[in-house]
Amino acid sequence: MDNKTIADLLDEIADMLSVDETPTSRFEVRAYRTAALTIGTLQEPVEEIYKKGGTKELMELPGVGKTIASHIEELVKTGKLMKYQKLKKKFPIKMAELTSIPGLGAKRAFILYKKLGVKDIATLKTAISKHKISKLEGFGEKSEEVLLKGIEIQQSSKGRMLLGDALPIAEGMIKKIIASGLVKKALVAGSARRMRETVGDLDILVIANNADKVMEFFTKLDNVERVVAKGPTRTAVWLKIGIGCDLRVLEPENFGAAVQYFTGSRDHNIQTRKIAIEKGYKLNEYGLFNKKGKNVGGESEEKIYEMLGLQWMPPEMREARGEVELAQKHKIPKLVEIGDIVGDMHTHTKETDGMNTIDEVAESALKLGYEYFATTNHTKSLGIANGMDESEFERYFKKVDTLNEKLEGRIKILKGAELDILKSGKLDLSNECLKKMDCVVGAVHSSFQMNENEMTERVVRALDSGLIHVLAHPTGRIINERVPYKIDLEKVAEAAERNNVALEINAFPSRLDLNDSNIMLVSKYKIMFSIDTDAHNLDHLKFMRYGVGTARRGWLTKDRILNALPLMKLMKKLAR
Ligand code: DGT
Ligand code: CA
Ligand code: CA
pLDDT confidence tier of residue 157, bands split at 50, 70 and 90: low
Mean per-residue pLDDT for 431-460? Answer: 97
Q: Of 78-92, 175-189, 252-266, give the lowest mean pLDDT range.
A: 78-92
Mean per-residue pLDDT for 342-369? Answer: 97
Mean per-residue pLDDT for 201-222? Answer: 96
Q: From 252, 255, 306, select the one nearest 285 (Cα to Cα).
A: 255
In the structure, ligand 3 is a single-atom ion and the residues with CB under 5 Å from it are 201, 203, 246
Q: How far is the CA of 166 from the centre of ligand 2 (A)?
A: 11
Q: Walk me through the domains of the chain, giving residue ranges and CATH numbers.
A: 3-137 (1.10.150.110), 161-250 (3.30.460.10), 260-328 (3.30.210.10), 338-574 (3.20.20.140)
Give the amino acid at 281. Answer: Y
Q: Inform me whether the pLDDT recorded for 153 exceeds 90.
A: no
Helices (H), 429-515: 431-435, 452-463, 489-499
Question: What whole-number percentage of the chain has pLDDT above 90?
Answer: 81
Given ligand 1 and candidates 158, 262, 286, 304, which is best to mutate, with the most ligand atoms within 8 Å of its CB?
262
The mean of the pLDDT values for the chain is: 94
Q: What is the pLDDT of residues 378-417, one digit of tens each?
A: 999 998 888 999 999 999 999 999 999 999 999 999 999 9
Beta strand segments in 111-233, E: 161-162, 185-188, 198-199, 201-207, 224-230
Inter-helix orientation angle 46-58/66-78, to 10°:
140
Mean per-residue pLDDT for 112-132? Answer: 92
Mean per-residue pLDDT for 199-217? Answer: 96
Q: Inform me whether the pLDDT recorded for 360 exceeds 90.
A: yes
Structural contact between residues 486 and 513, judged by C-beta atoms closer than 8 angstroms:
no
Question: Which phi and psi angles does 406 have, rounded to 5°?
Answer: -65, -35
Q: How far is the CA of 449 from the centre of ligand 2 (A)?
A: 34
> Which pLDDT score is estimated for 110?
84
> Which pLDDT score is estimated for 142?
82
The order of strands in the sheet holding 529-532 is: 343-344, 372-378, 412-420, 439-443, 470-471, 502-506, 529-532
Given ligand 1 and candidates 247, 266, 274, which is best to mutate, with the most ligand atoms within 8 Å of its CB?
266
In the structure, ligand 2 is a single-atom ion and the residues with CB under 5 Å from it are 190-191, 201, 203
Rounded CA gap, 61 and 539, in Å?
Answer: 10
What number of CA atoms fall less than 13 Å from residue 313's CA on the CB side? 32
Structural contact between residues 111 and 99, judged by C-beta atoms closer than 8 angstroms:
no
Beta bridge partners of 372: 343, 412
> Which pLDDT score is estimated for 158?
66
pLDDT confidence tier of residue 462, bands split at 50, 70 and 90: very high
Mean per-residue pLDDT for 285-307? Answer: 96
Q: What is the pTM of this model?
A: 0.82
Rounded CA gap, 377 and 431, in Å?
Answer: 17
Rounded CA gap, 352 and 379, in Å?
Answer: 9
Mean per-residue pLDDT for 233-238? Answer: 94
Rounded CA gap, 199 and 160, in Å?
Answer: 5
Q: What is the pLDDT of residues 17-74, one digit of tens each?
A: 887 777 777 889 889 999 998 998 887 899 999 999 999 999 999 889 999 999 999 9
> Which pLDDT score is estimated for 512?
98
Atom of ligand 1 nearest to the CA of 160: 4
Q: How far is the CA of 246 from the centre of ligand 3 (A)?
A: 6
Residues in the ligand 1 pocket, defined by CB under 6 Å: 190-191, 196, 199-201, 203, 261-262, 264-266, 269-270
More confident position, 99 or 289: 289
> What radius of gyration do the chain's Cα atoms show?
25
Q: Is 401 helix (H, G, I), strand (E, B) or coil?
A: helix
Q: Residue whose CA is closest, atom 3 of ligand 1?
A: 200
Atom of ligand 1 nearest to the CA of 268: 29
Q: How far is the CA of 255 from the centre of ligand 2 (A)?
A: 17
Mean per-residue pLDDT for 429-456? Answer: 97
Mean per-residue pLDDT for 222-243? Answer: 91
Q: What is the pLDDT of residues 323-351, one digit of tens each?
A: 999 999 999 999 999 999 999 999 999 99
